Amino acid sequence: MQLPVFALMLCVFCVGTAEIAIAGILPDVATGLGVSVPSAGLLVTGYAVGVALGGPLITLLTLRVPRKALMVGLMAVFLAGNIGSYLAGNYTTLMTARIVASLAHGTFVAMAGLVAARMSPPDRQATAIAQVSLGFNLANILGSPLGTLVGQRWGWRATFGALAVTALAAIVLVVLAVPARGGEEGTGGAPGAVRDEVRVMCRPAVLASMAVTVLAQGAVFTASTYLAPLMRDVAGFPAGAMSVLLAVFGIGAVLGNLAGGRLADRDPTRGAVLCLTALAVALAVFWAVAPYRWPAAVVLLLFGAAGFSIIPVLQARVLALAAAAPLLALSANVSAFNLGNGFGAWLGGAVLDQGWGARSVTAAGCAAAVVALLLIVPAWVHRRRDAAARTAVPARTPGEEDRCAA
């Protein structure tokens, strides 16, 4: 990984950890601020809403800002939000600080992927996006557990303090390592920049790709949100094994993320079809082997790989579809991933509320993945037909060849 890409990945690790690490210290936050645990849980919701709604809006408002300056500024906003969280004396202040930090998330992740891609050769752009997205994987398997450990040992404020220190180090690395042009200049004040970004994002193919993102990410979170009851109550693992099982899932996620980048380097649409197919198959097999302890553990690894392979391929596909003005579309696609998180958690909860048992979340996730696949397969088939038509050369009879020569 090149140093500039590593700097961007570290920033993504910070914003990804900020989103999820608070889940492990919710009881401590609730006790410290004198609120209920469900009220503390809204701090997660507030951040997610800030990402989903703030990303496209902030992107539109900052289109004319040069990319490196924008990334540094966004991380400074994120840093300020975490310092505010560390200093928060009451629930309202903490919620406000969390929302401030979330406003940097969507635009920065979109910008980081775009800049990493633009700094890479054409046949390595999706791999660069995957390397930046690796920050989210590391947030899950490293950032969240460490954030929880720090909060439990030194108090919940220490988690936000550690995030602020890491964010500051990431900002310094971006300043030193990322080229001044940040891959290329920003939209640079072109009069039609906002109009072009909106027009490109509203293309039917781009909007359809975002719908695929919501469904695909929803398929992952339908099952992954409820891994604990699935692995304990259905597969029969003891509660103490969950940390190891989550590590297995995280290892699969890292491998899948990098594999997805390689697939998308060749053809993002084909890569998306392959990754969604793998996700649907993994969830179907997960349903079949869930009652059996060790087969379930093996499929958990495969599910993690398939589930996180979709991030680089779907981002790369949006980048390809919106190449003329990609930033707003990429930012909106980041919001689509967050909407998918919420949709998946809701779908899995709805299935459980129906009394169908924890095993059923894998079937529901499989159904969502199949619907996403059905949305994208026609586009892939159409592209293959177009490519075949362009490369086909009709055979000519000798008489036709003579007439052409004449």
The pLDDT of residue 403 is 44
Is residue 126 included in any domain, yes or no? yes
Distance CA 107, CA 334 (A): 8
Quick one: 201 and 346 in the same domain? yes
Residue 388 pLDDT more than 80? no
Greater model confidence, 184 or 172: 172
Lowest mean per-residue pLDDT among 98-112, 179-193, 341-355: 179-193
CA 89 to each of CA 32, 33, 85, 280: distance values in angstroms, whole numbers, following the listed order: 9, 8, 9, 46
Taking residues 159-176, report their average pLDDT: 94
Greater model confidence, 2 or 386: 2
Domain count, the chain: 2
Condensed to tens digits (0 to 9), the pLDDT of residues 50-94 reads 888 888 888 888 888 888 889 999 999 999 999 999 999 899 999
DSSP string covering 98-167, please? HHHHHTTHHHHHHHHHHHHHHTS-GGGHHHHHHHHHHHHHHIIIIIHHHHHHHHHHH-HHHHHHHHHHHH
The pLDDT of residue 1 is 65
Quick one: 170 and 197 in the same domain? no
CATH number of the structural domain spanning residue 320: 1.20.1250.20
Condensed to tens digits (0 to 9), the pLDDT of residues 236-246 reads 888 778 778 88
The pLDDT of residue 385 is 64
Which pTM value belongs to this model? 0.78
Residue where a domain terminates, one of 151, 184, 217: 184
The pLDDT of residue 162 is 95
Q: What is the mean pLDDT of the chain?
A: 85
Query: Whole domain around residue 234: which residue ranges?
Result: 193-390
Is residue 401 included in any domain, yes or no? no
Quick one: 246 and 316 in the same domain? yes
Quick one: 140 and 256 in the same domain? no
Quick one: 110 and 242 in the same domain? no
CB neighbours of 74 closer than 8 A, spacing ≥ 6? 58, 104, 107, 108, 111
Quick one: 112 and 179 in the same domain? yes
Is residue 396 included in any domain, yes or no? no
